[in-house]
Amino acid sequence: MQLELIESEYKVTGDGITIELFPKEFTLFQFLYKNRGRTFSREQLLDKVWPLEYPVERTVDDHIYRLRKKLSKLQGLDIKTVRGFGYSLTIQEPAVTMTNPTTYDAKMQETMREVFVKYHQYGQGRSMLTLARQQDVLGYEMDPFYSIYIHFVQGDLEWLLNTEEVEIEERFYSLMICYIFLGDPKKKLEFCELVLEKKILLPPQHREMEILNILDLYTLAGQPEKALERLKLTHEVIKEPGYENFIPVTAISEMLVHLWMGTEDKELGRMAKDIEVLLQEKPFLREIGSYKAARGLWFLRRRSWREAEQLLDEALQVLEMSGFVPMRIYALYRIVHYCNQFSPKSALHQKYADLFEREKEERGFHRLEQSLENVLMNIVTAL
């Protein structure tokens, strides 16, 4: 059975069924699901699900009872009681396995890839993940690119670092994007320039890095003039066929450069209107979230605290809705560094700095940061 756990809404979906849980029920089920097949005592579950609280063992029993009742609609899923010890989650494997006949239908495979491309284009990460988790039911083979990309969408840095399913060369770009928003922008800029100089990336990734990703790093590293210079190349490239969808994100990055440089509000207002027109034509969730963040930072510079906070919160909500975990963390990275530049009131700055650290902690980025740097540096220095 393919299950999807929607953490922000405390929902579990599978076999076309969606079940709503209370927060602690969800946390308990999430822990058991990640460790399915293993048995945990009540004391262990209390420690994992109710840290720093003081519930009694009966609390676990009550939550297990409610979980069983709510999840009973999902066939093959069972929370077993192991007498004298605790509880274990099992998911029954089907007795008979058959390959879905559409798996061999070339037209079907091409159609499914086109659906992934559309979801990717519109920034619908959750839709991509739902589709990926229903692969066996729908009967299609995952495109090799998206078999890697869905792990990036989830912010699954541990898989990207340690998997043996695909070669490191195929994961390098995703790892590099994750590395960019960890730590000092100046250090990350130096690394990106080295990667571009050595031509380590595949041609499409190299192009994307040199015309888009590096723009923010120039700005956040305190070199907005270099970002403006690089934008000349960017504007030339996005005129070419096949780069139409890069236009909105380029316009947003350009607005952020001018925001950092202190460009007058009148000019920023003109840029904002142009971006809004672009987003009406191409309503991509990632870009909508990024634009709201840019407007929030603009209001921050103007010391309009309430409007700034509202827009920044809306931006993070849109990016949460998109399901692109790295984009939400990257937005927080941008916000924190722009806050450093504009010196807003400390409470607002602290709010987003805390959110940034919490996101990295929850996704395991803090724990894996050194491993990530070691892997990337070893590859670069070996070439």
Q: Is the pLDDT at 159 greater than 80, yes or no?
A: yes
Annotated domain spans of the chain? 4-91, 101-161, 167-382
Q: Which residue has the higher pLDDT, 214 or 142?
A: 214
- What are the backbone angles phi and psi of residue 283, rounded to the nearest 5°? -80, 65
Q: What is the pTM of this model?
A: 0.78
Burial (CB count within 10 angstroms: exposed 0-12, middle 13-18, buried 19+), residue 138: middle
Distances (CA, A) of 181 to 70, 142, 175, 216, 279: 40, 29, 11, 10, 25
Report CA Rg, the chain. 23
Residue 15 has pLDDT above 80, yes or no: no
Q: Is 20 in a helix, a strand, or coil?
A: strand
Q: Which fold has domain 4-91?
A: Arc Repressor Mutant, subunit A (1.10.10)
Local confidence band at 99 (pLDDT 50, 70, 90 cut-offs): low
Packing angle of the helix pair 285-301, 265-281 (nearest 10 deg) = 170
User: What is the rounded average pLDDT of the residues 133-145?
Assistant: 82
Average pLDDT over residues 247-263: 96
Q: Rounded distance, CA 332 to CA 354, Å?
A: 10
Predicted confidence at residue 75, as pLDDT, reads 79
Three-state SS for 377? helix
Find out whether 231 and 252 touch, Cβ atoms under 8 Å. no
Sequence-distant (6+) residues with CB within 8 A of 213 are 177, 180, 192
Q: Is the pLDDT of residue 314 over 90?
A: yes
In this prediction, residue 175 carries a pLDDT of 95
Beta bridge pairs of residue 18 = 13
- Taking every pair of C-alpha atoms in the chain, what is the biggest distance, in angstroms? 71
pLDDT tier at 96, thresholds 50, 70, 90? low
Query: At residue 186, does pLDDT exceed 60?
Result: yes
Under 8 Å between Cβ of 160 and 173:
no
**Cβ atoms of residues 82 and 70 within 8 Å:** no
- Please check the confidence at residue 1 and state whether its pLDDT lies above 70: no
Which range, of 160-164, 255-259, 262-266, averages the lowest pLDDT? 160-164
Query: pLDDT band at 193, cuts 50/70/90?
Result: very high
Specify the pLDDT at position 249: 96
Identify which of 35-49, 265-279, 349-363 has the greatest average pLDDT. 265-279
Considering only 10-19, 111-120, 158-167, 192-201, which range has the smallest mean pLDDT?
10-19
**Residues constituting the chain:** 383
pLDDT of 11 over the 70 cut: yes
Q: What is the DSSP string of 135-168?
A: HHHHT-PPPHHHHHHHHHHTT-HHHHHH-SSS-H
pLDDT of residue 341: 84
Q: Which CATH number fits domain 167-382: 1.25.40.10, 1.10.3720.10, 3.30.70.1350, 1.20.1250.20?
A: 1.25.40.10
CB 39 within 8 A of CB 86: yes
pLDDT value at residue 101: 81
Percent of the chain whose pLDDT exceeds 90: 58
Separation between Cα atoms, residue 1 and residue 13, nearest integer Å: 10
Q: Is 317's pLDDT higher than 80?
A: yes
Check for a shared fold between 4-91 and 167-382. no
- The fraction of the chain above a pLDDT of 70, given in percent, is 95
Task: Copy the structure tokens of residue 329.
Answer: 């963390």
pLDDT at 93: 64
**Three-class SS of residue 14?**
strand
Q: Give the pLDDT score at 315.
A: 96
Beta strands in the chain (DSSP E): 4-6, 11-14, 17-20, 39-41, 77-82, 86-91
Higher-pLDDT residue of 284, 137: 284
Element containing residue 283 per DSSP (H, E): none
How confident is the model over 36-95, as pLDDT tens digits? 888 888 888 888 888 867 666 688 888 999 999 998 888 788 898 887 788 999 887 655
Average pLDDT rounded to a whole number, residues 99-123: 88
Does the structure show a pLDDT above 70 at 98?
no
pLDDT of res. 364: 86
Question: What is the pLDDT at residue 344?
Answer: 65
Q: What pLDDT shows up at residue 17?
A: 83
The distance in angstroms from the start CA to the end CA of the chain is 43
Per-residue pLDDT of 341-354, as tens digits, reads 886 677 888 999 99
